[in-house]
Amino acid sequence: MAHCSSEALGPLVERHKEETADVADDRRESALPSTAYAVLGLLTMTGEVTGYELRKWAMNMRYFYWSPAQSQLYLELRRLRDRALVYERTEAQPGRPDKRYYTITDTGRRVFRDWLDHSEVGPPLLKHSVALRLFFGHQTSHSRLREVLTQYAEWARRQQQELSALKGDMLPALRYSSIVADWGVGYFAAEINAVESALASLDAMDSEVGES
Protein backbone atom coordinates (compact mmCIF):
# COMPACT_ATOMS: atom_id res chain seq x y z
CA MET A 1 0.00 0.00 0.00
CA ALA A 2 2.66 2.45 0.96
CA HIS A 3 5.16 0.75 -1.23
CA CYS A 4 6.27 1.97 -4.63
CA SER A 5 7.34 -0.10 -7.55
CA SER A 6 10.13 1.55 -9.45
CA GLU A 7 8.61 1.01 -12.86
CA ALA A 8 7.84 4.67 -13.26
CA LEU A 9 11.50 5.54 -12.93
CA GLY A 10 13.82 5.99 -15.85
CA PRO A 11 17.59 6.14 -15.66
CA LEU A 12 19.25 8.89 -13.72
CA VAL A 13 20.05 11.59 -16.21
CA GLU A 14 22.20 14.43 -15.03
CA ARG A 15 20.43 17.43 -16.44
CA HIS A 16 20.74 21.16 -15.99
CA LYS A 17 24.50 21.02 -15.84
CA GLU A 18 25.49 23.65 -18.38
CA GLU A 19 22.12 25.28 -18.05
CA THR A 20 22.91 26.70 -14.67
CA ALA A 21 26.35 27.85 -15.71
CA ASP A 22 26.38 31.40 -16.91
CA VAL A 23 27.00 31.55 -20.64
CA ALA A 24 28.39 35.05 -20.43
CA ASP A 25 31.01 34.11 -17.86
CA ASP A 26 33.83 34.29 -20.33
CA ARG A 27 33.44 37.93 -21.06
CA ARG A 28 33.27 39.06 -17.47
CA GLU A 29 35.76 38.70 -14.68
CA SER A 30 33.62 36.22 -12.80
CA ALA A 31 29.92 35.61 -12.32
CA LEU A 32 28.02 37.18 -9.49
CA PRO A 33 25.27 35.48 -7.49
CA SER A 34 21.73 36.43 -8.37
CA THR A 35 21.40 38.44 -5.19
CA ALA A 36 24.05 40.79 -6.51
CA TYR A 37 22.00 41.45 -9.62
CA ALA A 38 18.91 42.01 -7.55
CA VAL A 39 20.82 44.63 -5.59
CA LEU A 40 22.17 46.26 -8.72
CA GLY A 41 18.71 46.31 -10.24
CA LEU A 42 17.27 47.91 -7.14
CA LEU A 43 19.97 50.56 -7.29
CA THR A 44 18.94 51.44 -10.84
CA MET A 45 15.60 52.49 -9.36
CA THR A 46 16.43 54.11 -6.07
CA GLY A 47 19.26 56.58 -6.27
CA GLU A 48 21.54 56.98 -3.26
CA VAL A 49 20.55 54.68 -0.42
CA THR A 50 21.94 53.13 2.71
CA GLY A 51 22.08 49.38 3.18
CA TYR A 52 19.26 49.71 5.63
CA GLU A 53 17.00 51.48 3.17
CA LEU A 54 17.91 49.07 0.42
CA ARG A 55 16.78 46.20 2.55
CA LYS A 56 13.31 47.65 2.74
CA TRP A 57 13.18 47.81 -1.03
CA ALA A 58 14.45 44.27 -1.27
CA MET A 59 11.64 43.13 0.96
CA ASN A 60 9.12 44.32 -1.61
CA MET A 61 10.38 41.58 -3.85
CA ARG A 62 9.86 38.82 -1.31
CA TYR A 63 6.64 37.75 -3.00
CA PHE A 64 8.50 36.30 -5.93
CA TYR A 65 12.09 36.39 -4.72
CA TRP A 66 13.13 35.63 -1.17
CA SER A 67 14.79 38.54 0.62
CA PRO A 68 18.25 37.93 1.95
CA ALA A 69 19.29 38.45 5.55
CA GLN A 70 20.46 41.86 6.60
CA SER A 71 24.06 40.78 7.06
CA GLN A 72 24.07 39.32 3.59
CA LEU A 73 22.95 42.58 2.04
CA TYR A 74 25.72 44.57 3.68
CA LEU A 75 28.20 41.96 2.54
CA GLU A 76 26.90 42.08 -1.00
CA LEU A 77 27.16 45.85 -1.13
CA ARG A 78 30.78 45.70 -0.03
CA ARG A 79 31.56 43.14 -2.68
CA LEU A 80 29.94 45.27 -5.36
CA ARG A 81 31.93 48.20 -4.08
CA ASP A 82 35.15 46.22 -4.35
CA ARG A 83 34.32 45.43 -7.94
CA ALA A 84 33.50 49.08 -8.61
CA LEU A 85 29.94 48.26 -9.56
CA VAL A 86 28.61 50.56 -6.89
CA TYR A 87 30.03 53.75 -5.43
CA GLU A 88 30.19 54.10 -1.70
CA ARG A 89 30.03 57.48 -0.01
CA THR A 90 30.83 57.34 3.68
CA GLU A 91 29.63 59.83 6.22
CA ALA A 92 31.74 59.86 9.35
CA GLN A 93 29.82 59.60 12.60
CA PRO A 94 31.31 60.16 16.04
CA GLY A 95 31.52 57.07 18.18
CA ARG A 96 29.93 54.63 15.81
CA PRO A 97 30.35 53.03 12.37
CA ASP A 98 30.30 55.30 9.34
CA LYS A 99 27.04 55.72 7.54
CA ARG A 100 27.40 54.40 4.02
CA TYR A 101 25.46 55.58 1.01
CA TYR A 102 25.47 53.61 -2.19
CA THR A 103 24.87 54.49 -5.82
CA ILE A 104 25.28 52.34 -8.89
CA THR A 105 28.23 53.18 -11.14
CA ASP A 106 28.28 53.23 -14.93
CA THR A 107 30.16 49.95 -14.86
CA GLY A 108 27.51 48.57 -12.58
CA ARG A 109 24.78 49.65 -14.97
CA ARG A 110 26.61 48.04 -17.87
CA VAL A 111 27.12 44.78 -15.99
CA PHE A 112 23.51 44.73 -14.89
CA ARG A 113 22.17 45.34 -18.41
CA ASP A 114 24.50 42.70 -19.73
CA TRP A 115 23.08 40.24 -17.26
CA LEU A 116 19.53 41.15 -18.17
CA ASP A 117 20.17 40.98 -21.88
CA HIS A 118 22.39 37.95 -22.22
CA SER A 119 22.48 35.72 -19.20
CA GLU A 120 20.89 32.32 -19.30
CA VAL A 121 17.60 32.18 -17.41
CA GLY A 122 17.33 29.24 -15.09
CA PRO A 123 14.09 27.75 -13.85
CA PRO A 124 12.65 29.14 -10.62
CA LEU A 125 13.79 27.55 -7.39
CA LEU A 126 10.89 26.26 -5.36
CA LYS A 127 10.93 24.56 -1.98
CA HIS A 128 7.31 24.06 -1.08
CA SER A 129 7.22 22.60 2.39
CA VAL A 130 3.43 22.37 2.42
CA ALA A 131 3.30 20.35 -0.78
CA LEU A 132 6.10 18.24 0.64
CA ARG A 133 4.03 17.37 3.67
CA LEU A 134 0.97 16.61 1.60
CA PHE A 135 3.09 14.34 -0.57
CA PHE A 136 3.82 12.27 2.52
CA GLY A 137 0.20 12.35 3.63
CA HIS A 138 0.04 8.59 4.15
CA GLN A 139 2.15 9.05 7.27
CA THR A 140 -0.17 11.45 9.08
CA SER A 141 -3.83 12.18 9.69
CA HIS A 142 -6.27 14.02 7.49
CA SER A 143 -7.05 16.43 10.28
CA ARG A 144 -3.40 17.41 10.44
CA LEU A 145 -3.22 17.76 6.67
CA ARG A 146 -6.29 19.96 6.71
CA GLU A 147 -4.75 22.08 9.44
CA VAL A 148 -1.56 22.57 7.45
CA LEU A 149 -3.43 23.30 4.24
CA THR A 150 -5.83 25.83 5.70
CA GLN A 151 -3.00 27.57 7.53
CA TYR A 152 -1.17 27.86 4.26
CA ALA A 153 -4.23 29.17 2.46
CA GLU A 154 -4.59 31.88 5.10
CA TRP A 155 -0.99 32.86 4.65
CA ALA A 156 -1.42 32.97 0.88
CA ARG A 157 -4.48 35.17 1.24
CA ARG A 158 -2.55 37.57 3.46
CA GLN A 159 0.28 37.69 0.95
CA GLN A 160 -2.18 38.37 -1.82
CA GLN A 161 -3.71 41.25 0.10
CA GLU A 162 -0.35 42.74 1.02
CA LEU A 163 0.72 42.54 -2.58
CA SER A 164 -2.43 44.22 -3.81
CA ALA A 165 -1.99 46.97 -1.23
CA LEU A 166 1.60 47.42 -2.29
CA LYS A 167 0.55 47.72 -5.89
CA GLY A 168 -1.96 50.40 -4.97
CA ASP A 169 0.71 52.35 -3.13
CA MET A 170 3.19 52.14 -5.95
CA LEU A 171 3.68 54.91 -8.39
CA PRO A 172 1.91 54.11 -11.64
CA ALA A 173 5.15 54.88 -13.47
CA LEU A 174 6.56 51.59 -12.26
CA ARG A 175 4.85 49.53 -14.87
CA TYR A 176 7.01 46.45 -14.72
CA SER A 177 6.68 46.12 -10.99
CA SER A 178 2.95 46.23 -11.36
CA ILE A 179 2.99 43.54 -14.04
CA VAL A 180 5.00 41.37 -11.67
CA ALA A 181 2.60 42.22 -8.87
CA ASP A 182 -0.28 40.98 -11.02
CA TRP A 183 1.66 37.82 -11.64
CA GLY A 184 2.07 37.40 -7.91
CA VAL A 185 -1.60 37.96 -7.20
CA GLY A 186 -2.46 35.32 -9.79
CA TYR A 187 0.08 32.97 -8.31
CA PHE A 188 -1.41 33.23 -4.85
CA ALA A 189 -4.88 32.77 -6.29
CA ALA A 190 -3.71 29.55 -7.91
CA GLU A 191 -2.22 28.38 -4.63
CA ILE A 192 -5.43 29.09 -2.75
CA ASN A 193 -7.35 27.26 -5.42
CA ALA A 194 -4.98 24.30 -5.28
CA VAL A 195 -5.42 24.07 -1.53
CA GLU A 196 -9.17 23.99 -1.94
CA SER A 197 -8.91 21.20 -4.49
CA ALA A 198 -6.62 19.28 -2.19
CA LEU A 199 -9.05 19.67 0.69
CA ALA A 200 -11.84 18.43 -1.55
CA SER A 201 -9.73 15.40 -2.47
CA LEU A 202 -9.23 14.63 1.20
CA ASP A 203 -12.98 14.84 1.72
CA ALA A 204 -13.51 12.47 -1.18
CA MET A 205 -11.05 9.98 0.30
CA ASP A 206 -12.78 10.13 3.64
CA SER A 207 -16.23 9.43 2.23
CA GLU A 208 -14.84 6.57 0.14
CA VAL A 209 -13.59 4.94 3.29
CA GLY A 210 -16.98 5.49 4.88
CA GLU A 211 -18.75 3.71 2.05
CA SER A 212 -16.58 0.62 1.77
Partner DNA sequence: TGACTCATGTAAGCGGTTACATGATTTG
Partner DNA sequence: CAAATCATGTAACCGCTTACATGAGTCA
Residues that bind DNA (CB under 7 A): 11-13, 17, 20-21, 32-35, 50-53, 66, 68-72, 74-76, 78, 95-101
Nearer to DNA, 58 or 134 (CB): 58
Q: From the centroid of its chain, how far is CA 15?
A: 23
Least separation in angstroms between CB 58 and DNA: 10
For residue 50, which of 5, 95, 119, 97 has the smallest C-alpha distance?
A: 97
Question: What CA–CA distance (Å, rounded) separates 197 from 95?
Answer: 59
Question: What CA–CA distance (Å, rounded) separates 37 from 116?
Answer: 9
For residue 7, the 8-state DSSP code is T
Residue 98 interface partner, choices a copy of itself, DNA, none, CB cut-off 5-8 Å depending on type: DNA
Phi-psi region of 91 (alpha: psi -120 to 50; beta: other; left: phi over 0): beta
Least separation in angstroms between CB 92 and DNA: 11
Least separation in angstroms between CB 85 and a copy of itself: 14
Least separation in angstroms between CB 37 and DNA: 10
Question: What CA–CA distance (Å, rounded) separates 131 from 151?
Answer: 13
Residue 110 interface partner, choices a copy of itself, DNA, none, CB cut-off 5-8 Å depending on type: none
For residue 50, which of 27, 73, 69 has the smallest C-alpha distance?
A: 73
Residue 33 interface partner, choices a copy of itself, DNA, none, CB cut-off 5-8 Å depending on type: DNA
Nearer to DNA, 95 or 210 (CB): 95
Nearer to DNA, 3 or 17 (CB): 17
Residue 71 interface partner, choices a copy of itself, DNA, none, CB cut-off 5-8 Å depending on type: DNA
Nearer to DNA, 52 or 136 (CB): 52
For residue 89, what are the β-bridge partners?
101
Question: What CA–CA distance (Å, rounded) separates 86 from 127?
Answer: 32
∠ CA 50-56-59 to the nearest 5 degrees? 140
Nearer to a copy of itself, 37 or 94 (CB): 37
Least separation in angstroms between CB 175 and DNA: 27
